[in-house]
Chain A
Amino acid sequence: MAAEREPPPLGDARQPELEELEDGEDLFTSTVSTLESSPSSPEPASLPAEDISTNSNGPKPAEIILDDDREDLFAEATEEVSLDSPEREPILSPDPTPAITPVTPTTLVTPRMESKSITAPVIFDRSSEEIEEEANGDVFDIEINVSDPEKVGDGMNAYMAYRVTTKTSLSMFHKNEFSVKRRFSDFLGLHSKLATKYLHVGYIVPPAPEKSIVGMTKVKVGKEDSSSTEFVEKRRAALERYLQRTVKHPTLLQDPDLRQFLESSELPRAVNTQALSGAGILRMVNKAADAVNKMTIKMNESDAWFEEKQQQFENLDQQLRKLHASVEALVCHRKELSANTAAFAKSAAMLGNSEDHTALSRALSQLAEVEEKIDQLHQEQAFADFYVFSELLGDYIRLIAAVKGVLDHRMKCWQKWQDAQVTLQKKREAEAKLQLANKPDKLQQAKDEIKEWETKVQQGERDFEQISKTIRKEVGRFEKERVKDFKAVIIKYLESLVQTQQQLIKYWEAFLPEAKAIS
């Protein structure tokens, strides 16, 4: 207990640092840690201390009441928040609550209890380093696999269920290794939940794989041909990459929805991801409205950094699309090459059969075999081309679209702020007029409105600053990730090409003596 008492003085001493960290830190986790200490009477001074890291020790951990009623905790948290800094408001507006299904809070709180009671002083000592490490994503101890696509059900109601296996040593999860079954709409549901929570604050949420009506219908109908198996495989790989990218994001990793997705065995059906549902149509209408708005908003960009980044992302988007198209063409042609080589191999074999001269006949059949092996090789290379390279490019094109979306949100935020300022100005003018006209009752109302709008302006400004800051951090992280990803993928691709060449050499070397043996 004494050990657990240590933190507060340490925390207080490092208050200034913590303040800085707090701003950039994930607001959601900080609210979760406020959840922990909410029942115990919080002193506002100690709250910043808790905001340090996800593994932070509350100053009074012993007093945490494990409330089983999720609603209650959440309600208290909102209460808490209103006392505290107003920047927490956008995150904790009650809207997301209904979408989040109840998760037993023990999963949130107990692991922390365990970690705290066991190694309390050590954790706190490491806390600031941990923050940095987590921010850099270096201590990254979670591995996700998507496997075993299984067809469940029959006819048009059939769907593919995928097994999501998580291996982790992070303390926030129940166990170290667990797996659940999920279907595609579950993934889409997860993405939409994360997007509603984080996109408008400036976090880059990785986009989920796209829907494909044609592909899924083929699978549903039960056509067991190669194109449907390819489709399922493609989707499985895309889902795996999506989850891996999502958990790499330190903020998103903390999200309870994500945890629920990975852990709980039963997940409520995300019905509003269906294309023809009410929510789907609403989405399309919103998208159209957004597109129109974008054209009308002319932002006065004061920050050169953002302008540069915008331009950069436009260019990158264009280039990646071009490259993606070329790589897809390459995949297509290589598949063609493989098919043609196979046809040639068969025909060469037949030629060898009809050939009189025995040595030549044998050589020709050898040639046929070589060509057949080469055809297999080409096919494998085509797969590598596709899965390694082309899908990565597709993913990044979608990611950049998400980045652009985030930048658009920033613009909208700015617009809101400006609108608030304009309204404030109008209200002030109205007030001035009323003062001249000398109508006391209306004057009071005008003064109230002015106050209201003043706060709104301040809020707008703060929001804008916040979102800009978050975006800067996110973009920095995105760039780093991009460099890492691309390097890794291109090296893997080149290695596959080297392998192909190696095999080619082997085959032709084997063939050469046969050819020479023709007398």
Chain B
Amino acid sequence: MHEVFLCRVAAHPILRKDLNFHVFLEYNQDLSVRGKNKKEKLEDFFKNMVKSADGVIVSGIKDVDDFFEHERTFLVEYHNRVKDASGKSDKMTRSHKSVADDCNRIGSSLYTLGTQDSTDMCKFFLKVSELFDKTRKIEARVSADEDLKLSDLLKYYLRESQAAKDLLYRRSRSLVDYENANKALDKARAKNKDVLQAETTQQVCCQKFEKISESAKQELVDFKTRRVAAFRKNLVELAELELKHAKVIKTHFDNLLNMLNG
């Protein structure tokens, strides 16, 4: 996932020019990044609170641009569903792993049974325990792969959609500012006081809004293409890996059955 993150930053037309990014990639000694201390963490916490409250207010405002409106509804829904899917996929990979662990324990019990048994069951048991050992490793690998391809993907897109939502929020915020500035300008014009100041603020807001809208549009389109590509890659890889593992496990079982029956 780190690789994905870095690639994305590098691919972005603007972010790739960031000095911090260059330093990160080139500096070959320890970067000694200072972790956030308590005060900063508390600041973050409060900022989050304010932001979410604000977000609720801002989200009530209807957008002029259809594209963004559509995107907003889509993103909200998508985000929720991705969160759901990510959680369930996590649970699924965890149960898969516990099944693999159980197979491991069964394998070792069979092994002890095999070593202790005096009848011709012992060879039988030993072979079966070997099989369980092998398949256990593969099952564990299956669950790890599932985890990697599916759960990570979903988690990543969970955060991505959250980031996209944040972007939209910022844009809405600036839209609200713009509209407020417009209203202030109108009021100033009506009162004929501080017109210039109101005008400049309005200009600034307008510019900000336009810029953010433009980049947001670009970003969102990129988001979509990226999402499609990432899902495709991961789903294909997931299917291929599952297939490969299933085939390997099956050949193990087949071999053992032939050995036991023959």
Contacts and interface: CB of A to CB of B under 8 A. Distances in A.
A483 B123 CA distance: 12
B119 A494 contact: no
B243 A508 contact: yes
A504 B135 CA distance: 15
Given A337-B92, A350-B81, A491-B261, 4 more contacts: A354-B74, A360-B231, A501-B247, A515-B239
A340 B88 contact: yes
A516 B235 CA distance: 8
Given A340-B91, A505-B247, A515-B232, A329 B102 contact: yes
22 contacts: A312-B118, A320-B113, A326-B102, A327-B106, A330-B103, A333-B99, A337-B96, A337-B99, A340-B95, A344-B89, A347-B81, A347-B89, A350-B84, A350-B85, A351-B78, A357-B227, A357-B228, A363-B232, A367-B235, A498-B254, A504-B246, A508-B242
Contacts of B246: 501, 504-505, 508
Contacts of A487: 121, 124, 260
A360 B232 CA distance: 7
Contacts of A340: 88, 91-92, 94-95
A319 B99 contact: no
B92 A518 contact: no
A498 B124 contact: no
Interface string B109-125: 11011001111110010
B89 A334 contact: no
Contacts of A508: 239, 242-243, 246
B224 interface: yes
B240 interface: yes
B113 A319 contact: yes
Interface string A407-442: 000000000000000000000000000000000000
A319 B250 CA distance: 28
Interface in B109-155: 109-110, 112-113, 116-121, 124, 128, 131
A483 B98 contact: no
A160 interface: no
A491 B98 CA distance: 24
Nearest to A516: B236
Nearest to A513: B239
A411 to B, nearest CB: 23
B167 interface: no
Contacts of A351: 78, 81-82, 84-85
B86 to A, nearest CB: 9
A494 B120 contact: no
B257 A495 contact: yes
B243 A509 contact: yes
Contact of A323 (B113, B118, B250, B256): B113
Contacts of B236: 512, 515-516
Contacts of A319: 109, 112-113, 116
A398 B191 CA distance: 97
A511 interface: yes
B253 interface: yes
Contacts of B92: 337, 340-341, 343-344
Nearest to A355: B78
A363 B236 CA distance: 10
Interface of B: 74, 77-78, 81-82, 84-85, 88-89, 91-92, 94-96, 98-99, 102-103, 105-106, 109-110, 112-113, 116-121, 124, 128, 131, 224, 227-228, 231-232, 235-236, 238-240, 242-243, 246-247, 249-250, 253-254, 256-257, 260-261
B119 A518 contact: no
A315 interface: yes
Given A355-B78, A356-B74, A330 B254 contact: no
B81 A333 contact: no
B98 A336 contact: yes
A347 B85 contact: yes
Question: Quick one: which of A327, A340, A357, A495 has the most chain B CB within 10 A?
Answer: A340
Chief secondary structure at chain B's binding surface? helix
Nearest to A312: B118
A363 B235 contact: yes
A501 B245 CA distance: 9
B106 A494 contact: no
Interface in A7-30: none
B113 A348 contact: no
| 5 tightest A-B CB contacts, nearest first | A518-B232, A337-B95, A330-B102, A501-B250, A344-B88
A498 B253 contact: yes
Nearest to B241: A508
Contacts of B81: 347, 350-351, 354
A99 interface: no
A408 B106 CA distance: 31
A502 interface: yes
A490 B91 contact: no
B243 A505 contact: yes
Nearest to A509: B243
B74 A502 contact: no
Contacts of B103: 330
Contacts of A316: 113, 116-117
Nearest to A381: B99
Contacts of B235: 363, 367, 515, 518
A427 B117 CA distance: 48
Contacts of B228: 357, 359-360, 518-519
A333 B84 contact: no
Contacts of B96: 337
B190 to A, nearest CB: 44
Given A315-B116, A486-B121, A494-B257, A347 B239 contact: no
A497 interface: yes
A151 B170 CA distance: 67
B79 to A, nearest CB: 10
A154 interface: no
Given A483-B120, A501-B250, A512 B243 contact: yes
A512 B91 CA distance: 24
A322 interface: yes
A195 B91 CA distance: 49
Contacts of A354: 74, 77-78, 81
